[in-house]
Amino acid sequence: MSDGYREMWRELGLDLKRHDELLASLQPVYQNMYLSQKNRPKAMGYYDFVVSEIHGIRIKELVDFRKKGGKVVATFCLYVPEELVLASGAVQIGLCGGANTTIEDAERDLPRNLCPLIKSSYGFKVSALCPYFAVSDLVVGETTCDGKKKMYELLGRRMPVYVVELPHKPYTKHARALWFEELKLLKERLEKLTGNKVTAESLRNAINLVNKKRRVLKRIFEARKARPSPISGKDAILVTQIAFYDDVTRFVEKTKELAEELEERVKKGVGVVDDNAPRIVVSGCPMAIPNWKLHHIVESSGAAIVAEESCTGSRYLNIGDINSSADSVDGLLKAISEAYLNIHCACFTPNDERVNDVVKMVEEFDADGVIHYNLHSCHPYSVEANKVVRALKENGIPAISIETDYSKEDVGQLTTRVEAFIEMLRK
């Protein structure tokens, strides 16, 4: 990344010394995990560039946007509708952390046995290592899991935080009413932040724009159904990860190019692995950038990850195309609130919809097995793993359940388990 950003980082209050180390450490990891892959789609060049500029060009854009009075809203969960944020004139970025570096910083305030995603994210704030935190005007949290919900209280001492309540038994009339009212309150909070009124027009435009983003991501997923898959799981998850913080219009345009290339490959039968490589669906916790650990282990073992049933995967796509035909703000908000309940998060109970989703995906993606992926100490997914794995086995689908974090300590052990599983799938 250009040295020209140093002044910007200094102005944003980053810990420059540690920040240099962080960026320097990412480079060889990316080289090893990504750039060394064979036969990558050409269009991945854009995402490589985005990663190479991870704290550079996008931050510069956001800094410039704020200089002109723009506001940046940071989120940690799919359940905060980007449509609403965009309609208020703000920009939304995802702040989930996927790096181990900042966990020790977080543990000064947070208990050790909390999920690494929560600790990593909070740690990026307290360690002053994340320019995305630094350019955020407001964090919008949600009551999805205990860990995040309570972490937001501590984060609220350090920056403005607003929390939206998500019901956990979402299918009653009164739960839907609560969720709708919560989105209305969020709209008011965003209007207060930006000074802009959310109108039917601005909301409709935002819905249409974000629909485009989900649609193009869906094309990537559709292409992965081909045998052999035209893109590695590692590359595919990177695209999803970048979807959470890139400029939406540019992202849609660039990802269209990738989708076209993948569709072309599928027509020609071009893939990144051979036809016989076992095909894996990974199901479970989200993987925040740069958490590519499991994907790297699986694909280095000769299998291909063809889909992710996760927030950085199918759960995001399941929101689907939101109907933008209503002519009032409330009508459009209603459409948003209903569509978002298609995200089958483990925070819900009993959440059988998710279990069914995983089984269905195995068929649709012609997968040979499932790895249930659980971040250490994430209770919703770790307990639900039992139901998912049981349902898969009842359907004759091989499955293993793993629990891990962001450290390198268990890489050897994980590799052994994954290799044994893949070996079994080959038989």
Q: Which residues form the interface with a copy of itself (CB under 8 A)?
A: 109-111, 113-114, 143, 145-147, 149-154, 156, 163, 165, 167-169, 172-175, 177-178, 181-182, 185, 346-347, 349-351, 374, 376-377, 379-380, 382-387, 403
Provide, rounded to whole angstroms, the least separation between the CB of residue 110 and a copy of itself. 6
Q: How many beta carbons lie within 10 A of that of residue 24, not counting itself?
A: 9
Q: Which is nearer to a copy of itself, 31 or 172 (CB)?
A: 172
Provide, rounded to whole angstroms, the least separation between the CB of residue 148 and a copy of itself. 9
Q: Which is nearer to a copy of itself, 172 or 208 (CB)?
A: 172
Provide, rounded to whole angstroms, the least separation between the CB of residue 13 and a copy of itself. 23
Q: Which is nearer to a copy of itself, 170 or 228 (CB)?
A: 170
Nearest C-alpha neighbor of 9 from the set 45, 55, 76: 55
Nearest C-alpha neighbor of 272 from the set 225, 222, 232: 232
Helix (H) or strand (E) holding 202: helix 200-223
Nearest C-alpha neighbor of 104 from the set 122, 90, 91, 84: 122
Q: Which is nearer to a copy of itself, 301 or 404 (CB)?
A: 404
Q: Which is nearer to a copy of itself, 178 or 270 (CB)?
A: 178
Q: Which is nearer to a copy of itself, 6 or 149 (CB)?
A: 149
The token duo for 408 is 């390198």
Strand intervals (E) in 87-233: 91-94, 138-142, 161-164
Nearest C-alpha neighbor of 311 from the set 140, 41, 51, 79: 79
Amino acid at the residue 336 = I
Provide, rounded to whole angstroms, the least separation between the CB of residue 361 and a copy of itself. 21
**What gap in Å lies between CA 346 and CA 381, rounded to an integer?**
6
Nearest C-alpha neighbor of 282 from the set 221, 349, 213, 352: 221
Q: Which is nearer to a copy of itself, 206 or 347 (CB)?
A: 347
Provide, rounded to whole angstroms, the least separation between the CB of residue 112 and a copy of itself. 9
Q: Which is nearer to a copy of itself, 15 or 146 (CB)?
A: 146
Cis omega (within 30 of 0) on the bond before 170? no
Rounded to 5°, angle at Cα 292 from 412 and 345: 110
Q: Which is nearer to a copy of itself, 299 or 403 (CB)?
A: 403
Provide, rounded to whole angstroms, the least separation between the CB of residue 349 and a copy of itself. 5
Q: Quick check: helix, strand or coil at residue 72?
A: strand
Beta bridge partners of 94: 75
Strand intervals (E) in 299-415: 304-309, 369-375, 399-404
Provide, rounded to whole angstroms, the least separation between the CB of residue 405 and a copy of itself. 11
Provide, rounded to whole angstroms, the least separation between the CB of residue 132 and a copy of itself. 23
Q: Which is nearer to a copy of itself, 224 or 354 (CB)?
A: 354
Strand intervals (E) in 79-198: 91-94, 138-142, 161-164
Q: How many beta carbons lie within 10 A of that of residue 28, not counting itself?
A: 9
Q: Which is nearer to a copy of itself, 38 or 173 (CB)?
A: 173
Sort 333 into a burial class: Cβ within 10 Å, 0-12 / 13-18 / 19+. Answer: buried
Provide, rounded to whole angstroms, the least separation between the CB of residue 285 and a copy of itself. 13
Provide, rounded to whole angstroms, the least separation between the CB of residue 174 and a copy of itself. 4
Inter-residue contact 260 to 230 (CB < 8 Å)? no
Inter-residue contact 299 to 33 (CB < 8 Å)? no
Inter-residue contact 357 to 308 (CB < 8 Å)? no
Provide, rounded to whole angstroms, the least separation between the CB of residue 1 and a copy of itself. 35
